[in-house]
Amino acid sequence: MKTKAKKPTTKPSREEAENAVRTLIRWAGDNPEREGLHDTPKRVVKAYEEFFKGYALNAETILSRTFKDVEGYDEMIVLRDITFDSYCEHHMVPFTGRVHVAYIPGAQVVGISKLARLVEVFAKRLQIQEKLTAQIAKTLNDVLKPRGVAVVVEATHMCMTTRGVHKAGTVMQTSQLLGLFRSDPRTRQEFFSLLKVGSR
């Protein structure tokens, strides 16, 4: 039986992180003290702060400001083509693509920029695409309490294109359907039809 991995109790210092980068440079076969690489450890650590800023963000807080005065609007809301960059937790190389998010509101809606920010929260972490898809859908469902949520993610993975099988141009698609999108075939069909129309 596998035991659950424990979270590290203390975050390494910036100096420790930079030393780790120097170790990797040496392991790759180069000299971290040569002119072109001398400041690379600092740059890498600074870049990591941006690549993985999602760990410092709270998805529930981002979705906390909602609007109830929508004149009774209760039809599907779709935000297509939210671009994202994330990093595969298996090889720590990028995977990039687009997210399509839809929900059918209950008593409240959220500003569309918040949907894009929600994607960013989970994309800016070490990820796998399946988990990213589920996290976006579950959080939107838990916080807004809509009548249905649908999330589709399309991405290209550099662990497929630059290493291993070297298959350029491959695209992985994942989806998570909750509420009416799962239980009502007509709602589901409408959503996927809207995605097809938008891609023309």
- Phi, psi angle pair for 46, to nearest 5°: -65, -40
Pairing of strands 109-110, 66-67: antiparallel
Pairing of strands 126-127, 77-88: parallel
Tens of pLDDT along 96-149? 999 999 999 998 899 999 999 999 999 999 999 999 999 999 999 999 999 999
- Phi, psi angle pair for 9, to nearest 5°: -80, -30
Q: Tell how many helices (H) and how many strands (E) occur in the chain.
A: 8, 7
**104 contacts 148 by C-beta, under 8 angstroms:** yes
Catalytic residues: 88-91, 129, 157, 159
> Between these two residues, 195 and 22, which has the higher pLDDT value?
22
CA distance 90 to 43: 23
Tens of pLDDT along 36-59? 999 999 999 999 999 999 999 999
Residue 7: which pLDDT band, with cuts at 50, 70 and 90?
low
Is residue 162's pLDDT more than 90?
no
